[in-house]
Amino acid sequence: MLKKIDAAARLIGRYSSLFQCPVCGLAMEMNENRTLLCRNRHGFDTAKPGYISLLTRAVKSDYGKTMFEARNLVCRSGFFQPLIERIGQTILTNISGGGLEPITVLDAGCGEGSQLAQLAEVWKRETPTGFLGAGLDLSKEGVAIAAREYAGFIWCVGDLARSPFRDQSFDVILNVLSASNYGEFSRLLSKDGMLIKVIPGSEHLRQLRHVLYDRSPRQAYSNEKTRALFMRHFDMLDERQIRYDVTLQKELLEPLVRMTPLSWGARDEQLQQALQLAIREITADFTVLVGRAKVQ
């Protein structure tokens, strides 16, 4: 059985045509030392856990290991499964499969990788067409968990504003509850490629929002500005709301609180109050925006 570092280097090497040097923009190849290298000798080593870092400078992420471990627990519980099923069906409807080449999917802001891995399972269940998934995130802690938990994907630490991929490399870009860079999305998508952006709806985690931000403006949320920005850059193919209630096991309440940015601005006493509440049900509410880049 291959070590993680060797399996990752082999997969990246096989699909090295996806990459461009984040320093100079030249094509890259994987060498025998597991280093992704361009002709100008800018090199990036595969890490032992099975990912590659293509950052050109030190970048501090707001997301730490504790948050990503919590998110991984929540994702594995099936919290996001109805959303992932909907995304999978959207891709199946809009992207023609059945060819010899796998569909290429970039999860931009992949975190600890669980959503990309779950999407791959939906795709493989429905079609024989291959699935090549790549995850990109600024957080080394998140990507390290992804590489540890989910083999068979290309996991990259990198900056979306200077993404290390060539033009028109991906059939689908997935952007779930994460920051966007529409210029890069347009560059990276293939001619008929599709962006799927997921943003929270007004009812998302409303039970937690009520506890953490009672009588605060943050208790209310509108995604209209985010939606308008999407439409400024992409032609809308589809838009739909996915809302459902999840029965919450007691042991998942703390990971749920820890994984959401809602908890960042709350006071310690509010966090403790949320953790002590016997919340039996939590609302998941998402707006799924599907679009293609506007023709310039």
Known binding residues for Zn(2+) are: 21, 24, 38, 42
Q: In what order do the strands lie in the sheet with 103-108?
A: 52-53, 154-157, 131-137, 103-108, 170-176, 189-200, 281-293, 234-247
Q: In what order do the strands lie in the sheet with 28-30?
A: 28-30, 35-38, 43-45
What's the token pair of residue 276?
């002590």
* Numbered residues of the known binding site: 21, 24, 38, 42, 80, 112-113, 204
Neighbouring residues of 86: CB distance < 8 A, sequence distance ≥ 6: 240, 242, 288
In 3D space, the residue among 150, 194, 167 whose CA is nearest the CA of residue 293 turns out to be 194
Neighbouring residues of 36: CB distance < 8 A, sequence distance ≥ 6: 12, 16, 19, 28, 29, 30, 43, 44, 45, 46, 52, 54
Residue 153 to residue 149: CA distance in whole angstroms = 10
Buried b (16+ CB within 10 A) or exposed e, 37-49: bbeeebebebbeb
* Numbered residues of the known binding site for S-adenosyl-L-methionine: 80, 112-113, 204
**Secondary structure (3-state) at 167:** coil
Measured N-to-C along each axis, helices 65-76 and 114-126 cross at an angle, to the nearest 10 degrees, of: 30
Residue 156 to residue 178: CA distance in whole angstroms = 16
Query: Residue 10 belongs to what H/E stretch?
Result: helix 4-14
Residue 31 to residue 258: CA distance in whole angstroms = 40
**Secondary structure (3-state) at 108:** strand
What's the token pair of residue 193?
């490629």
